[in-house]
Amino acid sequence: MNYFVTGTDTDVGKTLVSCALLHAFAEQGMRVVGMKPVAAGGCDENGRNDDDRKLRAASSVQAGFGQTNPYCFTHAVAPHLAARFVGVSINMERIIESYRELAAQADVVIVEGAGGFRVPLNDRQEISDIAVELGLPVILVVGMRLGCINHALLTVDAIRAKGLELAGWVANVMDENMEMLEGNMEALKVRIEAPLLGVFPHQAIPDAKDAAKRLDVALLAR
């Protein structure tokens, strides 16, 4: 019962949703661990990424930093550019090996992507290829703001084109003053052929434990 979390864009709440999923499955008594294969930006002086720290805090299985976050770069740019800046090439085999080590220790692994679904990893591969190589169903985080319908449907098309299962989606309200929020929600419900797992209202300081209460992970088993 492992999943790949992607988003309609960068900064739409992938980490919040990933942590909420970890909390929700942990509440069911499962051993859970989060993974951020590639992170660009948000690193501290020790090279530890903020998203990875949040995932680790929400995990019941404590693994090594090299397992949960194999690649961490300082520059907040597309991963292939951040890697090129420091003379590194992102290797898919290293990501796969780390994932397998985590999967051997946990009942649930939540793998969080970086940026959007088609962000480049290197000269040949994209973030989407991580989900393909790991054979994971995808959970889509839709940042509810102007333009979200187009971004969401294009991402759904890209997921399907990769031959991946869209297990469900989460609506995260980014703009507290978004006009016709309910109308946008209805348009997405009609067009996305996957269950809506939950709606996260706008929060100035997001709380993953509170957000977990708004998720219906039972829908993932259907």
pLDDT digits (tens, 9 = 90+) for 65-123: 889 999 999 888 999 999 999 999 999 999 999 999 999 999 999 999 999 999 999 99
45 pLDDT more than 70: no
Q: What percent of the chain has pLDDT over 70?
A: 98
Confidence of residue 163 (pLDDT cuts 50, 70, 90): very high
Contact status, residue 37 vs residue 95, Cβ threshold 8 Å: yes
Q: What pLDDT does residue 1 have?
A: 87
54 is catalytic: no
Q: What is the CATH number of the domain that holds 11?
A: 3.40.50.300
Q: Which residue has the higher pLDDT, 42 or 161?
A: 161
Q: Annotated catalytic residue: which of 14, 36, 54, 213?
A: 36
Contact status, residue 24 vs residue 60, Cβ threshold 8 Å: no
* Contacts for 123-131: CB closer than 8 Å, 24+ residues apart: 123/80, 125/90, 125/92, 127/6, 127/38, 127/79, 128/6, 128/158, 128/159, 128/162, 128/164, 129/92, 130/4, 130/37, 130/38, 130/92, 130/95, 131/4, 131/6, 131/162, 131/164
Distances (CA, A) of 105 to 61, 62, 99: 7, 9, 10
Domain membership of residue 191 as a residue range: 3-221
Give the number of domains in the chain: 1
What average pLDDT does the structure give for the chain? 94
Q: What is the model's pTM?
A: 0.95
Confidence of residue 218 (pLDDT cuts 50, 70, 90): very high
Contact status, residue 185 vs residue 178, Cβ threshold 8 Å: no
- Show Cβ contacts of residue 169 under 8 Å, excluding neighbours closer than 6 positions: 139, 140, 141, 142, 152, 188, 192, 194, 195, 196, 197
What the block records as the tokens of 163 is 């031959």
| Mean pLDDT of the 171-192 span | 95
